[in-house]
Structure 1
Amino acid sequence: MKTCSWYNKGMENTAENKGLQQNRESVDDLKNENAKLQHELEMANAKIKWYEEQLRLSAAKKYGTSSDNVDEAQISFFNEAEITARPEKEEPKLEEITYERSKKRGTNKPSFDDLPVERIEYEIPENEQVCEKCSSSMHEMSVEVRKELKIIPAKVCIVEHVRKVYACRKCQNSGQNTPVITAPMPEPVISGSFASPSLVAYLMYQKYSAALPLTRQEKIFSDFRIEISKQNMSNWIIKACELWLDPFFERLKEELLKETFIQADESPLKVLTKDGKPAGSKSYMWLYKSGAFGKKISLYEYQQSRSGKHPKNFLNGFSGFLQTDDYSGYNSVENVTRVGCFAHARRYYTDALKALPKESEIESTHAHKALEYFKRMFRFESEWKDLSANERFKMRNKNLKPAMEAYLSWLQEVQPKIVRKSKLGQAVNYSLSNWELLSNVLKDGQCELTNNAAERQIKPFVIGRKNYLFCKSPHGAKASAMAYSIIETAKMNGLNPFYYLKYLFEQLPNTKLSTPYALDHLLPWSETLPKECLKTFESKK
């Protein structure tokens, strides 16, 4: 039987079409697979780039400078010798070096002016003051003086407070009720203890101002044959804080809450034993300080967590501008206008530069462009630092506002072009997401461009924490907060923290807190404070 030719030809075409269809599907599958692999490769490269960024940034933080300023010619710390080399730079002459060094020698410093002088004279005996040529007597021609700074270790002594009691002998002999009069004597800082106001003040000063742990203080006392255990020192500090610094702290807090601009920050602290929490869990030390135009106050508060309820409770009654970082816990504070920190925004860009590869051209990067905007804004602020709040408010709206608007336009332009999870992407997103907080600096001249003042103020606590590592109990942590508050507030007001603490511990046990203003004569800006509480430099200005 013969098959039609047209039928055979149709069958062949059908088979050919089916083959072509299969080939097309195979090609599409390969294209899809290629696209998938290409996407996975891009993802892998992005991850590798991110890890490289983290590695370079980690190395820069470990071995490089901690400053936010990045030298444009020194993006990598590995080629420091090549970068800093200047073949055209002439070497200084030996005479210049000798002169520069000789100028710094001696004890001609203002801080030495009030020190007592111990004079030791060296003379030749009269019978030897004879000229070796003519045997005539010699006269004093001139005097050579060499000055040294002598250290006398702390002197410790026992102070006996002897109070005399008086009675009427005539009444006593007649058998009548004998009147008795007792001489007045100041109250002790801690009843039943041999700790004096100066000793407690010294221990606090050493620990919270000089960052010297009690263990080392115990060793130093022992070196001078004075045995005082660190347990006793700790008990004295906690007791003195609870009895006397606590009410004084509350009085300072009243003054702080009257301000209209406050800066805040917080830092972790390890406390070994706490109720309801495992030993060694993380607590926080919170800082609240006044601005440059108000009374100078810095207060620290210990809390067991980083919850937003703590700043809300502490700042209850405060109304004004609150400057912090972008931590959302401060959002719970009521009746305040939050102000952001341009230093935090800039720090993201400096991190982005530090994470760049060694061969990168900094000038061509977005991070470098962003830092140019920041340089302009910070240059304005440095020019206005001596202006009043009202004058600074006017200058900011005239000059700083256009600079900020230009930076915002740049942010909106560059955001779609960058990888969101990269360091640069994080920097851009930080500024955009916090733009309302950052722009609030234009609302009042009291506001600062950065929260650096609060970060500097909490640094003494951070330095101390590195030395004593932790607090043994919540009572100790709370006492530390009060001690830091008094000491740092004293420093801000130009006081010597040791003499100020000593004066407080002498006066507070003998001050009756009968009126709301009973402590005002002891506040760090009081004009009735003794001169010994003032720092030497401050008292001479």
Structure 2
Amino acid sequence: MSSAAAIDPEYVAELERQLATARALLAASEEANARLERMLAQARHARFGVSSERGDPDQRNLFTEDCEVAEGQLAAAADAANKALGKASRKRSSAKRNKGNLPDHLKRVEEVIEPDSTLCPCGCGEMVKVGEDRTQRLDVVPAQFRVLVTVRPKYMCRTCDGKSHAQAPAPEFLVPRGLGTNRFAVHSVVAKFCDHLPFYRQAEIWRRDGIEIDRTMLANWAGRIAFQLAPIIDAMIGELKASDRLFADETTVPVLAPRTGKTRKDYLWAVVRDQRGWGGGDPPIVVFQHSRSRSAETAKKIFTGFKGGSLTVDGYAGYDALGDPKKTNQPWGITYCWTHWRRRFVEYSRTTASPICTEMKERIRQLYRIEADIRGKDPDVRRAIRQKLSKPIVDALRPWLEAQLDMLSSSSDLARHIRYGLKRWAGLIRFLDDGRIEMDTNAVENAIRPIPLTRKNALFAGNDDGAVTWARMASLVGTCKLNGINPQAYLEHVLEKILNGHMQEDIQNLLPWNFKPDEARHS
């Protein structure tokens, strides 16, 4: 009897079962390990990498700035050498950036440079001016502090024993008997909420000029400005309530919890109206509102009184209640963001090569090429082109994804990313039937981007009132940016109007898009 024939078949079957079990465990372990590696890579990218897959062009410019610095040093050295040798500097073609673009409203200060003598060397007498060369260069005067002394003369009639007298009324100041002017207070607020320079850093900068202003005073001024401008925020919310095509998103804001010394995670909710993508006539608006919660109830509270329509959001489930007729009296058509869905495949492909991700990104890229061509066109034109060009791409995408899903493990990350979109399919394709709907939430994401920058520099809001001030000032500064308005000039103008008794019924004239910089400069 051979040794092969002596092997017990049951023993062989048991070994095969153990081998199969080991292979299954190994596959599961490899899948778990791959998932952990992807999570680690994504965490590293989230902390140290760029936040957008497109990248920031300013960051790319950092690598060329050093080259430009070196070029400037070489040019200066060549000019110095030529001057020492008595040679004329070789004329170089100058960059045309910014050339001839000095704004007309800037003050012109003429500096006339006369020769040492205008007497003719031949002894003929005084020479006659026959022309001049004029060169315009941009100059800057570093921030200069000054003390504004307000003088109000008093007048009295001596004939009638002082019964008649006259004096101009005192101007209204943001802080009665305060240290700073209204313009100074606005400058501080814009520096923080527009340029992301927290109050304590401003105080350090001014201290170099011997100006001692505590950051708590600056914060107090900001709160006073926010209080005075609250009616404008209310009017902006009223404008939003009359709109039926909006965007919404939310971001975290740390707030110092009372008597704990710790910060809690609150939220600023952003609601945006931006019709520029389809040539709408209403001006763009962004309004932020502070809340301690990110719940669906908070979303319902924020949108109370709105007329409903289409609301473009990311995939956060908190907005779903706004589209449910059983949960709200004015249900919205919830439209989901293609960029958020695409981002999942971009993140996955950073750590794992996947032809599914490559194909998915290419198909979405085709849709965005179409969107780039129709941006700003009439809604009916946009809808017609989408129906003709975009709809076939979208119609073919779903069955393709469902087929890929059948070949993937149900627990895999890639399958989860596919199901994310299929679950929200009705909201993702809503843009095909309405030219006034965008494919993504880029409008609100761009408006909300300054909040993390300010958050990073300012660290936290001191209390709920500070968070409310943050929301109000971010609303005004953000809306100014959307409308191409200088926040400093606008806030100075509108604060002066309100402090001097601008009537509530004229509040519409104080909204950012109605601000006329030329009139303000000459007022």
TM normalised by structure 1 equals 0.78
Q: Is 1:459 equivalent to 2:440 in the alignment?
A: no
8 Å CA contact 2:272, 2:444 repeated in 1 = yes
Q: 2:476 corresponds to which residue?
A: 486
The alpha-carbon deviation at position 479 of structure 1 amounts to 0.5
Q: 1:384 corresponds to which residue?
A: 374
The superposition leaves residues 489-522 of structure 1 with CA deviations (integer Å, 9 ceiling, x where unpaired) of 1121221100100011101122355x5x331111
8 Å CA contact 1:284, 1:303 repeated in 2 = yes
Q: 1:284 corresponds to which residue?
A: 267
Further displaced range: 257-266 or 41-50: 41-50
- 1:64-79 → structure 2 map (5 Å cutoff): 65-68=50-53
- 1:87-486 → structure 2 map (5 Å cutoff): 102-104=93-95, 108-126=99-117, 130=121, 148-163=137-152, 172=161, 178=163, 183-242=168-227, 244-274=228-258, 279-292=262-275, 293=280, 294-318=282-306, 319-333=308-322, 334=328, 335-356=331-352, 365-486=355-476
8 Å CA contact 2:194, 2:450 repeated in 1 = yes
Q: Structure 1 residues 533 and 305, CA, compared in 2 at 3 Å: closer, same or farther?
A: farther
Q: Tell me how far apart the structure 2 counterparts of residues 447 and 403 of structure 1 sit (CA, whole Å).
A: 18
8 Å CA contact 1:389, 1:444 repeated in 2 = yes
1:339 aligned partner, one-letter code: T
The superposition leaves residues 255-280 of structure 1 with CA deviations (integer Å, 9 ceiling, x where unpaired) of 111111111111111111248x8831
2:518 aligned partner, one-letter code: K
Q: 1:14 corresponds to which residue?
A: none
Q: Structure 1 residues 312 and 38, CA, compared in 2 at 3 Å: closer, same or farther?
A: same
Q: Secondary structure at the match of 1:265?
A: strand
Cα RMSD, aligned residues only: 3.3
2:93 aligned partner, one-letter code: S
8 Å CA contact 1:285, 1:302 repeated in 2 = yes
2:237 aligned partner, one-letter code: K
The alpha-carbon deviation at position 327 of structure 1 amounts to 0.6
Q: Tell me how far apart the structure 2 counterparts of residues 200 and 32 of structure 1 sit (CA, whole Å).
A: 78
8 Å CA contact 2:119, 2:127 repeated in 1 = no
Q: Tell me how far apart the structure 2 counterparts of residues 101 and 320 of structure 1 sit (CA, whole Å).
A: 59
Q: 1:501 corresponds to which residue?
A: 491
Unaligned residue ranges in structure 1 (runs of 5+)? 1-19, 71-98, 535-541
Q: Secondary structure at the match of 2:342?
A: helix
8 Å CA contact 2:483, 2:513 repeated in 1 = yes
Q: 2:15 corresponds to which residue?
A: 30
The alpha-carbon deviation at position 23 of structure 1 amounts to 4.1
The alpha-carbon deviation at position 191 of structure 1 amounts to 2.8
8 Å CA contact 1:391, 1:445 repeated in 2 = yes
The alpha-carbon deviation at position 372 of structure 1 amounts to 1.7
The superposition leaves residues 392-424 of structure 1 with CA deviations (integer Å, 9 ceiling, x where unpaired) of 223223322222111112111111112344443
Q: Tell me how far apart the structure 2 counterparts of residues 531 and 489 of structure 1 sit (CA, whole Å).
A: 19
Q: Tell me how far apart the structure 2 counterparts of residues 163 and 57 of structure 1 sit (CA, whole Å).
A: 65
The superposition leaves residues 99-152 of structure 1 with CA deviations (integer Å, 9 ceiling, x where unpaired) of 998332686241444433334444543389648xx9999998997766543221
Q: Structure 1 residues 107 and 24, CA, compared in 2 at 3 Å: closer, same or farther?
A: closer
Q: Tell me how far apart the structure 2 counterparts of residues 261 and 348 of structure 1 sit (CA, whole Å).
A: 26
1:118 aligned partner, one-letter code: V
1:255 aligned partner, one-letter code: E
8 Å CA contact 1:511, 1:518 repeated in 2 = no
The alpha-carbon deviation at position 450 of structure 1 amounts to 0.7
The superposition leaves residues 478-497 of structure 1 with CA deviations (integer Å, 9 ceiling, x where unpaired) of 11111111111112122110
Q: 1:45 corresponds to which residue?
A: 30
Q: Structure 1 residues 111 and 413, CA, compared in 2 at 3 Å: closer, same or farther?
A: farther
The superposition leaves residues 173-201 of structure 1 with CA deviations (integer Å, 9 ceiling, x where unpaired) of 7xxxx576653443222334233221111
8 Å CA contact 2:119, 2:125 repeated in 1 = no
The superposition leaves residues 307-342 of structure 1 with CA deviations (integer Å, 9 ceiling, x where unpaired) of 222221121111111111011111233321111000
Q: Tell me how far apart the structure 1 counterparts of residues 495 and 366 of structure 2 sit (CA, whole Å).
A: 49
Q: Tell me how far apart the structure 1 counterparts of residues 153 and 130 of structure 2 sit (CA, whole Å).
A: 60
Q: Secondary structure at the match of 1:204?
A: helix
Further displaced range: 381-390 or 51-60: 51-60
Further displaced range: 40-49 or 277-286: 277-286
Q: Tell me how far apart the structure 2 counterparts of residues 47 and 435 of structure 1 sit (CA, whole Å).
A: 29
Q: Tell me how far apart the structure 2 counterparts of residues 41 and 331 of structure 1 sit (CA, whole Å).
A: 40
Q: 1:538 corresponds to which residue?
A: none
The superposition leaves residues 418-454 of structure 1 with CA deviations (integer Å, 9 ceiling, x where unpaired) of 2344443233122111112211223422211110111
The superposition leaves residues 215-274 of structure 1 with CA deviations (integer Å, 9 ceiling, x where unpaired) of 1111121122222111111111112212x1112111111111111111111111111124
Q: 2:518 corresponds to which residue?
A: 531
Q: Structure 1 residues 129 and 345, CA, compared in 2 at 3 Å: closer, same or farther?
A: farther
Q: Structure 1 residues 100 and 203, CA, compared in 2 at 3 Å: closer, same or farther?
A: farther
Q: 1:84 corresponds to which residue?
A: none
Q: Structure 1 residues 124 and 510, CA, compared in 2 at 3 Å: closer, same or farther?
A: closer
Q: Secondary structure at the match of 1:281?
A: strand
TM normalised by structure 2 equals 0.81
